[in-house]
Structure 1
Amino acid sequence: MSRKNILSGSPWEDKMGYCRAVRIGNVIEVAGTVAIVDGEKVKANDAYAQTDNIIERIAKVLEEAGASLNDVIRTRIFTTDIIYFDDIARAHGAYFKDIKPATGIYEISKLVAPDYLVEIEFTAIIQ
């Protein structure tokens, strides 16, 4: 089976030696992704906007890999404070209400920078 690496252009991809997503056969794994916190549309204290930004961007990554959000079978959500559960769930539900992938949400002590409240990993299988 062939391997397709999907890069996002992040400088961390070369520094860390990773890519945003990998497709092998009909399976796509998407690396943990945080929001682009711009201080306007996506603020450091807005878990809903961060979750929305992540999923919106990953939809484009999946498209580049030949898939869509409809092909997502699992999401793993990491948050620095479970108090944001309702906001994260509302944003996740806006995209996945009818798709209903298996998911988990986990409170962790930190993400790579203090502005990030949410990080999400995705697994998709193309049928």
Structure 2
Amino acid sequence: MKQLISSGAPWEPIIGYSRAVRVGNVVEVAGTTAQDGEEVSGATPYAQARRILEKIAAALEQAGASLEDVVRTRIYVTDITAWQEVGRAHGEVFANIRPASTMVEVKALIDSRLLVEIEATAIISR
């Protein structure tokens, strides 16, 4: 059974994606940014990463999972020199969970105000 989780973003049906998809005990959370409607939450990489992780937690909850189930994150930043800010936010959330993680610099995200995008994979083991 496949469960689709929507964030309600207007571009989901246009682009043809879901915020998250659960198949069995696996949940994949799509690239998530700090975009909230027309606004971007947070002007710094740290603040955006914290907001993104809140949104990922909410998507996981809708799928019947939690941050403790996350086994992998992928972090995209528009300026790799901000790695410590983004890493600090990630570490505050995942310090005891310690998923496998990758951080890479990308040329740009879909909106120039966006500095960070994060994907997550969770495996529900309970």
TM-score bin, normalised by smaller chain = over 0.9
Structure 2 distance, partners of 1:20, 1:34, is 11
For structure 1, the 5+ residue unaligned runs are: none
1:64-103 correspondence to structure 2 within 5 Å: 64-103=62-101
For structure 2, the 5+ residue unaligned runs are: none
Q: Do residues 30 (structure 1) and 32 (structure 2) align?
A: no
Deviations 1:42-90 (A, max 9, x none): 12xx000000000011101100100000000000000011011000000
CA RMSD of aligned residues (A): 1.1
Q: Do residues 11 (structure 1) and 5 (structure 2) align?
A: no
Structure 2 distance, partners of 1:42, 1:50, is 5
Deviations 1:1-40 (A, max 9, x none): x00000000011011000100000000001001113646x
Query: What percentage of aligned pairs have identical amino acids?
Result: 51
Give 4+ residue runs of structure 1 displaced > 2 Å after superposition. 36-39
Count of residue pairs brought into register by the alignment: 123
Q: 1:119 aligns with which of 99, 105, 117?
A: 117
Shift of 1:97: 0.3
